[in-house]
Amino acid sequence: MYTHTSINTTEDKPTAIAVLTSGGDSPGMNPAIRGVVRAALHQGIKVFGVHKGYSGLIIGDMWEMDSASVTNIVQRGGTLLKSDRCQAFLDPAVRHQAAEVLLKKGIDSLVVIGGDGSLTGAHMLASESSIRVIGLPGTIDNDIYGTDDTIGFDTAVNTALDAIDKIRDTALSHECLFLVEVMGRNSGFIATHVGIACGAELVVIPEYEVEVDAISFQLANNRVQGKGSSGIIVVAEGPTPGLTYNLAKQLEQHGQRPKVCILGHIQRGGRPTGHDRVLASCLGAAAVDYLCGGYNDVMIGIKNGAIAETPLQHIIDKKKQLDAQLFEHVQLLHK
């Protein structure tokens, strides 16, 4: 499914590769780990799994992996290696210590699977040390520049859809309005995709200001058009907790009686979808190819259906924009 243009994989073979998962976990991290491990072993390269992300890296908490150590994980959510947030890694002296730990163990390359924070840490390590670092986009949010798709996004969308299809039954039976909060602090990728796929009446996302008057008007209009008074509004959680409850209160002042359902962390767990398993497996294997081809300080992602690299610096500097047309489709399709 995903291919990349031919890389000379004998150019600069790593001596040994470490792999870690960091930040918020996402379904598909396990197949990505498996991809890295199996591809490295195929190339005759030793591979080490790091326990608990950067926290394990700085203290050398890692073990050598063989083919059997990633057996039976392709279908499992979460991460075999565990994940963590590590404030200490923001300190350049601590990152220096991490590089020393790797070099002492004879490891010259690292694959980091995580979100934008983790990839920022990966870039810092690559630019400050001789360790060669490849990042993989592991986040349900799909908000990473340089890739059309991130590991876990498809599963999170499907998990939310499963729940919303059930909520829709109650909304229809009781003719009531539900505000369903999905994840997305800074971006509305999940909310917009979920909104289209569940036939939501409206979607509220951080990229656009909430206009309660307009929402209320549209809901009233739906009733006039005979669409009944049930409905689903998908709300991205936004940067401040409580946004969905605040919106519900404001809608109450406009005569609506919405119920709130927060989907929360269920969106981060669960078996990865087939799509995420293929994506993660291919990116994991590609990370090893790119290391063998001499690449460093890049993230491997998907651009126009093919595997492609982006400098980690660009991931830090640039923001991936939600396609405005996609957002407009929610309303267009509901009409």
The residues carrying an active-site annotation are 141
- State the nearest-atom distance from the C-beta of 16 to ligand ADP, in Å: 22
Adjacent-strand bridge partners of 260: 179
Question: Closest CB to ligand ADP among 35 and 137?
Answer: 137
Question: Closest CB to ligand ADP among 115 and 284?
Answer: 115
- State the nearest-atom distance from the C-beta of 35 to ligand ADP, in Å: 19
Question: Closest CB to ligand ADP among 120 and 192?
Answer: 120
For ligand ADP, the binding residues (CB under 6 A) are 22-24, 54, 85-86, 89-90, 114-118, 120-121, 124, 139
- State the nearest-atom distance from the C-beta of 125 to ligand ADP, in Å: 8
- State the nearest-atom distance from the C-beta of 187 to ligand ADP, in Å: 12
- State the nearest-atom distance from the C-beta of 165 to ligand ADP, in Å: 28
Q: Are 296 and 133 in contact (CB under 8 A)?
A: yes
Question: Closest CB to ligand ADP among 39 and 113?
Answer: 113
Question: Closest CB to ligand ADP among 118 and 310?
Answer: 118
- State the nearest-atom distance from the C-beta of 328 to ligand ADP, in Å: 28
Question: Closest CB to ligand ADP among 23 and 35?
Answer: 23
- State the nearest-atom distance from the C-beta of 87 to ligand ADP, in Å: 6
Residue of closest CB approach to ligand ADP: 117
What is the three-state SS of the chain? CCCCCCCCCCCCCCCEEEEEECCCCCCCHHHHHHHHHHHHHHCCCEEEEECCHHHHHHHCCEEECCHHHHCCCCCCCCCCCCCCCCHHHHCHHHHHHHHHHHHHCCCCEEEEEECHHHHHHHHHHHHHCCCEEEEEEECCCCCCCCCCCCECHHHHHHHHHHHHHHHHHHHHHHCCEEEEEECCCCCCHHHHHHHHHHCCCEEECCCCCCCHHHHHHHHHHHHHCCCCCCEEEEEECCCCCCHHHHHHHHHHHCCCCCEEEECHHHHHCCCCCHHHHHHHHHHHHHHHHHHHCCCCCEEEEEECCEEEEEEHHHHHHCCCCCCHHHHHHHHHHHC
248/226 Cα distance (integer angstroms):
23
49/251 Cα distance (integer angstroms):
50
Question: Closest CB to ligand ADP among 108 and 143?
Answer: 143
Q: Which structure tokens are listed for 267?
A: 């969106």
Half-sphere exposure of 280 (CA within 13 A, CB side): 36
